[in-house]
A and B are shown apart, each in its own frame.
Chain A
Amino acid sequence: MSVAGSSSAGEQENKVISDVVIRFAGDSGDGMQLTGNNFTDATAVYGNDLSTFPDFPAEIRAPAGATFGVSAFQIYFGSEDVSTAGDHLDVLVAMNPAALITNLKDLVIGGLIVADSDAFTDKNLARAGYKSNPLEDGSLDAFKLLAIDITKQVIAVVKPYGLSHKFAVRCKNMWTLGLTMWLFDRSRDEAIDGLRKKFASKPEIAEANVEALNAGHTYGETAELPSGVDVYKVPAADVVPGVYRNITGTEALAFGLIAGSQLADLPLVFASYPITPASGVLHTLSMQKHFDVVTFQAEDEIAAICAAVGASFAGSLGVTSSSGPGISLKGEAISLACAAELPMVVINTQRGGPSTGLPTKTEQSDLNQALYGRHADTMLPVIAASTSIDCFEVAIEASRIATQFTTPVLILSDGYLSNASQPWRIPDVNDFEPFPVKFETEAEGFSPANRDPETLARVWAKPGTPGLEHRIGGIEKSIETGDISYDSENHQKMTDLRSKKIDGIAKYIPEQEVAVGNNSGKLAVVGWGSTYGAIFQAVKRSREAGLDVSQIHVRYLWPLPSNLGQLLSSFDALLVPEMNTGQFASLIRSIFLLDAQKLNKISGQPFKIEEIEGAIRAQLESAK
């Protein structure tokens, strides 16, 4: 939290701060995600720039009070551009001892703890591993502590609505939300509307929650709070005018696919198999059937991608989506699409691995899989989204490249992007350049081996077109006729052709630009994917501190932008932060023979800004 000054609002002296990080933490059944989302909406309306980071366990309802069942939602908001969910917490809302003990390490000294003292029972304390009650033993003296008997307060407030004890207690997240909204001067209107909509069929539950929300707010206004705890003002950010909404990477991907298929003038067939954290794309698209969208939950990952391949063969844009383990299963069918030269979009929402790994945590460790994870010489375009918002454009780009070059395209997203939300200035889809597919219809001179001489894209002739009946498949085909061919010279030619087609895509993608800083200098921090926000802030702050450092963030991971090698060579040193053991750094080293330095974090958590800042300083100092 950065204090920017103070302002007088009525009688109360309000502190003005430029940014703040809050984390709501509780049991996985405590409704922390809902609380966080409500706070996010109110903050967006307030006009702050923001970024969120929902962090929840793989267990749906872990035993109450268990440390492994703690679910958290973090929001960073401020009056300047916000590009990560924040390094350290200014406010920690802890609904029980487990939430406190697992999150306290991230709270700044002097930060505020809001705790439900009713949940700090002997049983819960013991379960969390506390020998004595931290709310009472002085161990939290370095922080500001607001210990409130929230459960008792809530039960009293909602009593008139006649809810069972279980449902009454559940309102405590709204009480806490009300208090937090008071603390940061947020409006409750959106949340109240939302509750009434969500519980439209159960008005007593809706009203009890509204009552709890208001009661939490009133508590802040009237109760005597410890010194230093009062309303903070975070002025609105100076952002580009327009209509805004909050959007997660999952939603942006789904909407981007609809946009992409519309721009390609194709129906969308989305075939998928549930897997965390990728399932949200299937859920979102399943609700958009009024568009030219068919969704299909297949029996397994392989069936899902095969249905997508079949749909593309039949003239739709076939799309499949999964996470790393599922992409492994899809490998053989991706190669089939490479051999048959059919358009397809494959999305990998990466998670911690290997194997089941950390299903709800984030990682970037499937880059090598995306680039090389198939049998034979089957390079294909790989593009990565850098922010939740960027997922929209990346989905459109993938649709464009897939259909224009008749090839599967792999999108890399990750668990962080899929769940994190950002305010999005909603674009007008009519501003995007359409890339309508022209199916072959002319029987004269038709051969399934025909290609566009420029792009080398194979002709796309869909079943149902008279006179173009033809066969495709996984067996090597004659470069002239498209018939089966085991000829050795032909295989050489076809392999070369497939590579040339993919490599040639570099001519049809934008040149690499520098995100922050200059086109040459002492150090470039080179990243891809969801590390964008942390690198952006780290480079910006380092530059403000006078350091010669630039940010280069790569969207097109294969083929690489044609100027990338030259651009990277213009810097004395390269630093590559990745949430893996250095896969992109190795790619840079092997392709460009440049000494890219690795900065790796494989903890299932995104980079902190200061971690990258520290590495920038160390790199520049070692170069002295």
Chain B
Amino acid sequence: MTLLTVERIKLFSTRSPWWCMIIATALTVGLTSIFAATTKSSDLPEFTPSVTQFAFNFGLVVMMVMATLAVTTEYRFSTIRSTFLAVPTRTPALVAKAVVVALLAGIVGEITAVGSWGIARLIQPDAPLTLDTAQEYRNVFGVGLIYLLSAVLALAVGLIVRQSAGAVVIELIYLLLLENLLPAIPRIGDHLQHWLPFAVGNNFIVAGQPETDDGPPAIEGMPFGPWGSLAYYAAVCVGLFVIGLILAKRRDA
């Protein structure tokens, strides 16, 4: 509990987390409101809760950067050594950091999701935006969970790479390039895609949603249902974090 307080003080006594939170929210809610305001009335029946989340990846990337920086700046400025001097067993301090950062990312994720959905309802009150089915609830409220888990993953990458630029570049290249290019490999590409972490994590949000051109795309024939997908994604994120913990414990600070 004290270590959670410590990590909270650390996170909020610098300015970059605040900026990341503001940018993540402004980016997603802003893009959604532009989208909502420019939707033609003939397209309105297709303006579903899923479509209001079309921009969630942008906010997600920003929060992943925040999570990565939460650990890499500690290495950059050697405060990680002060941290390990205070908590020489190391693991509790890093777990506390993961909990604080992940919770914060989860909360920001929910704010961006509900904010995007809410602003869309305000701008287009006639669109079919009420949340009725479990799938529609997941479409909106599921976003926060993906933010939360992705923050753990980003923190793990930061812990393994220990260098801000390197870690962020690895994450962006993987998330924005590799996950989109690997499925293009002939024959095995499609099969591969079904096991890519972000594709599976995304499946938790979009599984079972009606066909749409605008929201986050649903992939056909995923191996898991929504909650199975979430569990798989969580396993990947936590697994990577455990590797980061082991490395942090074994390496010289």
Q: Do A and B come from one complex?
A: no
Q: Which residues of B contact A (CB under 8 A)?
A: none
